[in-house]
Structure 1
Amino acid sequence: MPSLSMLKQMAGQDGHLPDANAAQEKSRLSLGVPAIDGCLSGGLARHGLHEVRCAHGRDIGAATGFALSLLARAGKAGGSVAGRVLWIIDPAAAVDGGLPFADGLRQHGIDAGRLVLVRPSRLKDAVWSAGEAARCGELAAVIVQIRGNPAAFDATASRRLLLRARENGVFTMVLRQSGGEEASAALTRWHARACPSLPDEGLYGEQTPWGIGRMRLALTLEKNRNGQTGQWHVSWNPRTGAFEHAAQNPQTAHPGNPLSVSCHRPDRPPEMGQVLALGRAS
């Protein structure tokens, strides 16, 4: 496991985040959607612990995409995340969720060369690594990816992680896949679910917009220390590095029109006759 001194050496001086006494506009992370930022009193607290979860394994891509978008928002102007990002993966989570992909990181404005993966053999070691990383103020962010609701990562462990993240000014996230709601010390808890993509008009033109467009999510703010929660449909714009409000039921990129009925033969097999249960002959 990497020690605290090793983490500081990997982070470098360029990844130091502003301390808790920075200006008001720098202390919170705006998502770019007024309705969401209003519930968050301007945005997410940069120096603290936040949780992003998905109830089913099939939505881990949506939850990961939301977490990466938050990292891009937390970076410098232009969407480039400064400093090292430490991504700690529970061994059980890597089996279903896989590993971060360099091209996907790049599309979110994150340099894959700044990502440090920590893959311990036990969940206990992953929790310990997250606590040590949250003490390293030179890191730009820390992500700990876990599967389900393990007893090793309970409310006490999350509170310890929150206190260290606040004390050292580290933007820390828990990425929970296939997990349910549970008590934790996270300042906010988000549930992310994938929605059908919008058409990409820039791919084939406005006449035939069939290309798969921007990432589109259904976000539910399940927990908020400020007391306000809500649900929104948003899309991520990689060009502007911001979230945008999306209609709940728009025309999707692939409407799924059924095939036409065959004209030369029946479109379905004929009805079966009566089925008799015949006993075995003696």
Structure 2
Amino acid sequence: MQGTHVRHRMEALQDAVARVDRRHASFARHARLREKDGFVRFGIDALDAVFKDGFPVFALHEVRCTLSRDIGAASGFLAGLLAGCMKNRAGRIVWICDPACRLDGGQLFPAGLAMFGLDPARLLMVRPADLKSALWASDEAAKCTELAGVVFQVKGNPARFDMTATRRLMLKAQQNGLFVSILRQGGEEEANAAATRWCVDARASAADPHLEKGIGLLRLSLVLERNRNGQTGQWTVAWNQHEHGFEHVPEDHVDRPAAALHRPDGAPQMGQVMAFERAS
């Protein structure tokens, strides 16, 4: 009886050592992947200068907007970022949405994602019934090495989504070689484990140079609020849907909105105002 017990203990110990070896081998494989192609560049000198080796792909990032009405701008920036980071990677992208986000933020539009260079066919939408289920789904998705990326869209700053929860996502992103992002809708900045945190706001577009009285490229105001390299900054960029890339907008061109189409400069002249007697 004692010999059988010792043999079972030895087998359990051997299994535990084998699991540790497999984890180390997996981490080393993804570490080599990070050294090879784990960084991307925006193609904008002022923006690329704040990242030492380039923008880190296999990490946790946060994109937020202070007002829910700007979730379209924040989602667009994240879609363009995903398209650039996933250009040479296969696999699906899981987008998990807190149910509170859909009340005033709506849902993703496939044609809009395609405009940002993100293939809608690669996207797997997960719509849990509550925040607890959404957090569980994001943790489980970040464990899948076959995926290319994970997006967790959350409304505001719920207490349940704390530093511990973000630290788990950060570790899984690094160990499994995934792009993991928090898309915070209408939330304030708060401390978490994200490698970068971006605040995105929509800016007025310029006139289209090729179409008379047409609206030009989409413009976004980017504020890099957190960067583990220590450098932050603020830029205005435009998304070129033809080239599928970001372009820098010089400061002297920021406040030149497109001209109004078929709209008078002032209010029309009012006609004669007549006073009617009250019926009662």
TM over 0.5: yes
Preserved CA contact (<8 Å) 2:204 2:255: no
Does residue 265 of structure 2 align to residue 259 of structure 1? yes
Counterparts of 1:183-222 in structure 2 under 5 Å?
A: 183-202=191-210, 204=211, 208=212, 210-222=213-225
Match for 1:136 among 144, 147, 154?
Answer: 144
Matched with 2:21 is none
Matched with 2:170 is 162
Cα separation, partners in 2 of 1:199 and 1:24, compared to 1, 3 Å: farther
Summarize deviations over 1:182-212 as a string: whole Å, max 9, x none.
Answer: 010000000000001122222x2xxx3x212
Equivalent position SS for 2:171: helix
Preserved CA contact (<8 Å) 2:162 2:192: yes
Equivalent position SS for 2:147: coil
Preserved CA contact (<8 Å) 2:93 2:150: yes
Preserved CA contact (<8 Å) 1:190 1:219: yes
Matched with 2:226 is 223
Match for 1:152 among 135, 142, 160?
Answer: 160
Does residue 64 of structure 2 align to residue 53 of structure 1? yes
Q: What is the rounded CA distance, in whole Å, between the counterparts of 2:111 and 2:181 in structure 1? A: 21
Matched with 2:117 is 109
Q: Which stretch shows the higher mean deviation, 59-68 or 253-262?
A: 253-262
Count of matched residue positions in the alignment of Structure 1 and Structure 2 = 242
Normalization by structure 2: what TM-score?
0.80
Cα separation, partners in 2 of 1:201 and 1:228, compared to 1, 3 Å: same
Preserved CA contact (<8 Å) 1:20 1:47: no
Q: For residue 251 of structure 1, what is the amino acid of its counterpart? A: R
Cα separation, partners in 2 of 1:69 and 1:263, compared to 1, 3 Å: closer
Q: For residue 172 of structure 1, what is the amino acid of its counterpart? A: V
Task: Tell me which protein shows more helix as a share of its residues.
Answer: 2
Matched with 2:277 is none
**How many Å apart are 1:99 and its aligned residue?**
1.2
Cα separation, partners in 2 of 1:110 and 1:155, compared to 1, 3 Å: same
Q: What is the rounded CA distance, in whole Å, between the counterparts of 2:178 and 2:117 in structure 1? A: 20
Counterparts of 1:13-52 in structure 2 under 5 Å?
A: 19-22=30-33, 24=35, 26-52=37-63
Cα separation, partners in 2 of 1:150 and 1:262, compared to 1, 3 Å: closer
Summarize deviations over 1:98-137 as a string: whole Å, max 9, x none.
Answer: 1111111111222212110100011011111111111111
**How many Å apart are 1:24 and its aligned residue?**
4.5
User: Over aligned residues, Cα RMSD in angstroms?
Assistant: 2.2
Q: For residue 259 of structure 1, what is the amino acid of its counterpart? A: D
**How many Å apart are 1:214 and its aligned residue?**
1.5
Match for 2:97 among 89, 102, 108?
Answer: 89
- Unpaired runs of at least 5, structure 2: 1-28, 274-280
Structure exhibiting the larger radius of gyration computed from Cα positions: 2
The percentage of counterpart residues that share the same residue type is: 47
Summarize deviations over 1:198-238 as a string: whole Å, max 9, x none.
Answer: 22222x2xxx3x21221110000000111100000001112
Preserved CA contact (<8 Å) 1:57 1:178: yes
Matched with 2:87 is 76
Q: What is the rounded CA distance, in whole Å, between the counterparts of 2:121 and 2:56 in structure 1? A: 26
- Unpaired runs of at least 5, structure 1: 1-17, 270-282
Equivalent position SS for 1:179: coil
Q: For residue 113 of structure 2, what is the amino acid of its counterpart? A: L
Q: What is the rounded CA distance, in whole Å, between the counterparts of 1:103 and 1:170 in structure 2? A: 25
Equivalent position SS for 1:228: coil
Q: For residue 66 of structure 1, what is the amino acid of its counterpart? A: F
Q: For residue 253 of structure 1, what is the amino acid of its counterpart? A: A
